[in-house]
Amino acid sequence: MTIKTRASPEDLYHVDGNAELVNGEIIHMPPTGEGPAYAAGEIFASLRNHAKLAKQGRAVPDGAGFQVDLPNRESFSPDAAFVVAPRRRGRERMRFFIGAPIFAAEVRSEGDYGPAAELALAEKRADYFAAGTRVVWDVNLLAEDVVRVYRATAPDEPTIYRAGQLAEAEPAVPGWTMAVDELFEPE
């Protein structure tokens, strides 16, 4: 009989690339493609500019780890995020964020389509909300409904944004908007 050892958040520090800790297992997140990478970068850049102008909160790019304490999940690694937690000092700044971001953006990659992927994305959103995230974006570059904004207060009733519209993340990032068109590289 093989006994499977439950991974810990500490184990994530020794993983190459992005990964999350779900149900005691390290879930590797493969590199993403050109379109999703561009969109995630644009979300981060827009959030960073907003944080500087508002002098409030901080934008977090892809690759950052957020350590949480849920029964089935111990970490997140969103494609872009926004936090309002105070900055830690010294060596602690080298560690994962403690707690969930107030806003998280998940940009779908090539493998994030189909019934199993939809279920996994819904479960991850529920985990975000259980950990304290207030707003989650589900960004689908292949759909007419490009940005679905899910809120902890109404997790099954997304606000939908399409090309030509401004998407928002209220109440998590007050006053911030981003043109949906900016998620796509110019031709």
Residues 149-182: pLDDT tens digits? 999 999 999 999 999 999 999 999 999 999 999 9
The widest CA-to-CA distance across the chain, in whole angstroms, is 58
pTM equals: 0.92
Mean pLDDT confidence for 89-107: 94
Contacts of 69-72 with CB under 8 Å at 24 or more apart are 69/131, 70/127, 70/130, 70/131, 72/22, 72/23, 72/127
Phi, psi dihedrals of residue 120, rounded to the nearest 5°:
-60, -40
Q: Does the pLDDT at position 112 exceed 90?
A: yes
Six token digits for residue 59: 């934008």
Number of Cβ atoms within 10 Å of the Cβ of 37: 15
* Among 22-36, 82-96, 148-162, the range of highest mean pLDDT: 148-162
Q: Which amino acid is residue 51, in one-letter code?
A: A
Q: Are 106 and 126 in contact (CB under 8 A)?
A: no
Q: Does the pLDDT at position 28 exceed 80?
A: no
Six token digits for residue 28: 């590797």
Phi, psi dihedrals of residue 83, rounded to the nearest 5°:
-125, 155
Residue 61's Cβ-count burial label (10 Å; 0-12, 13-18, 19+) is middle
> pLDDT at position 115, please?
96
Q: Does the pLDDT at position 93 exceed 80?
A: yes
> pLDDT at position 3, please?
63
* Residue that wins the pLDDT comparison between 30 and 167: 167
Percent of the chain with pLDDT over 90: 76
Return the CATH superfamily for domain 32-183.
tt1808, chain A (3.90.1570.10)
Q: Does the pLDDT at position 26 exceed 90?
A: no
pLDDT band at 4 (very low <50, low <70, confident <90, very high): low
Return the sign of the alpha-carbon dihedral for residues 126, 114, 108, 8: positive
Six token digits for residue 141: 């570059």
Mean pLDDT confidence for 73-87: 94
Q: Does the pLDDT at position 143 exceed 80?
A: yes
Q: Compute the distance between CA of residue 97 and CA of residue 168 in angstroms, rounded to an integer.
A: 24
Number of Cβ atoms within 10 Å of the Cβ of 62: 20
Whole-number average pLDDT of the chain: 93
